[in-house]
């Protein structure tokens, strides 16, 4: 059999039908008419001599051989995408579209710092940002839906490479009238775990806080927030305390008249952020250029421990009133 007659578009059609188990929805996702998609899928089946889908008036099912063919089609499409990345890697660094994922506890605070430097240094780049939970973004990276991911290290995966970026302290946020708001030096032992408000499940910051205060999980249903700013608002309302990443404290100024921030001077908790990409990613030069831009930008901020840079500015609490 000569497979030269088959195209990537044919494979996209059968994968779309497998994903949706509906020819109409598959056609919509491929931006073609349903008759066109149906005819091409049928033509593919006749050419390879295998029925991939069982069609009934009410449903579409995959055959046993169909599962095998679709699985291989996904691999071919993924490798085809890598070929495109390799070709693009020969172009000007960070030109064209670069799809970057950021975890939800980082994206809203890092992105504003990057926009101006990106426009200055890489004016031909179209940066497409995706924010979400670590697990969802990791899956998107593995599927090839995004090019790179900024997330908390470590991040395990069989096909994952890492470029360290920076380390940031976790800062205690308390209501302005809280007893710890006036304490100049505090340690983890000064924090009452029962007062801690957590992010919803799925956030890596939640897991880190529970690792620091394992007893918190056994103290009844904790207050939970869907986002960093919801968490900050709950602290401002006097509902409890929270640990926030240092960058979120510096960039996010909402409710500062109602929330006090205290650096933890003993056993200082922190998190490390890295850029992750797929092994074999064809645009590694672009990933490294973006990594360098992030590090240079945060080094200019002066209070973040940037990998490969010597910190030459004062600590967060030393730069102001300890917030």
The 10s digit of each residue's pLDDT in 190-235 is 999 889 999 988 899 999 999 998 877 666 666 788 888 898 899 9
**SS3 state at 239:** coil
275 and 255 belong to one structural domain: no
7 and 82 belong to one structural domain: yes
Distance CA 164, CA 155 (A): 11
Of 88, 115, 147, the residue that ends a domain is 88
Which residue, among 161, 125, 150, has the nearest Cα to 282 in the 3D structure?
161
Of 88, 118, 141, the residue that ends a domain is 88
Give residue for tokens 């599927």.
143
Give the CATH number of the domain where residue 58 resides: 1.10.10.10
Q: Which two tokens stand for residue 265?
A: 């001077």
202 and 156 belong to one structural domain: no
Quote the pLDDT of residue 95: 74
223 and 207 belong to one structural domain: yes
pTM: 0.70
110 and 129 belong to one structural domain: yes
175 and 249 belong to one structural domain: yes
30 and 100 belong to one structural domain: no
Distance CA 264, CA 315 (A): 12
261-302: pLDDT as tens digits: 888 887 889 999 999 998 878 788 888 989 999 999 998 877
Quote the pLDDT of residue 315: 47
129 and 103 belong to one structural domain: yes
Q: What range defines the domain where residue 227 resides?
A: 169-268
Name the H helices within 122-203. 134-143
Task: Give Cα 38 to chain centroid, integer Å.
Answer: 36
pLDDT for residue 318 is more than 60: no
253 and 196 belong to one structural domain: yes
**SS3 state at 118:** helix
Of 70, 88, 106, the residue that ends a domain is 88
Q: Are 317 and 186 within 8 A, CB to CB?
A: no
217 and 255 belong to one structural domain: yes
Give the CATH number of the domain where residue 297 resides: 3.40.190.10
How many domains are contained in the chain? 3
Quote the pLDDT of residue 158: 66
The residue with greater pLDDT, 11 or 310, is 11
153 and 283 belong to one structural domain: yes
275 and 146 belong to one structural domain: yes
């Amino acid at each position: 059999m000569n497979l030269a007659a088959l195209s990537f578009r044919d494979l996209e059609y059968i994968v779309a039908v497998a994903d949706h188990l509906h020819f109409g929805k598959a056609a919509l996702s491929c931006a073609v008419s349903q008759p066109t998609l149906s005819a091409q899928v049928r033509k593919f089946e006749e050419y390879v001599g295998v029925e991939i889908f069982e069609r009934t008036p009410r449903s579409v099912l995959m055959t046993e051989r169909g599962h095998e063919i679709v699985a291989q089609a996904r691999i071919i499409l993924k490798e085809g995408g890598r070929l495109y990345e390799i070709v693009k890697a020969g172009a000007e660094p960070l030109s064209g579209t670069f799809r970057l994922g950021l975890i939800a506890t980082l994206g809203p605070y890092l992105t504003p710092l990057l926009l101006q430097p990106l426009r200055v240094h890489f004016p031909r780049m179209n940066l497409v940002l995706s924010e979400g939970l670590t697990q969802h973004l990791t899956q998107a990276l593995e599927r090839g839906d995004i090019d790179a991911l900024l997330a908390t290290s470590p991040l395990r995966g069989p096909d994952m490479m890492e470029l360290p970026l920076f380390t940031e302290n976790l800062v205690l946020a308390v209501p302005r009238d809280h007893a710890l708001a006036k304490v100049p030096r505090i340690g983890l032992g000064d924090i009452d775990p029962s007062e801690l408000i957590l992010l919803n499940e799925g956030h890596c910051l939640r897991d880190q806080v529970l690792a620091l205060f394992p007893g918190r999980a056994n103290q009844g249903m904790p207050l939970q927030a869907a986002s960093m700013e919801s968490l900050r608002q709950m602290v401002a309302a006097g509902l409890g305390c929270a640990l926030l990443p240092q960058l979120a404290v510096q960039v996010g100024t909402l409710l500062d008249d109602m929330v006090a921030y205290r650096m933890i001077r003993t056993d200082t908790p922190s998190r490390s952020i890295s850029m992750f990409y797929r092994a074999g990613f064809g645009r590694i030069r672009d990933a490294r250029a973006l990594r360098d831009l992030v590090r240079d930008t945060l080094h200019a901020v002066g209070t973040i421990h940037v990998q490969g840079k010597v910190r030459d500015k004062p600590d967060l609490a030393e730069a102001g009133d300890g917030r």
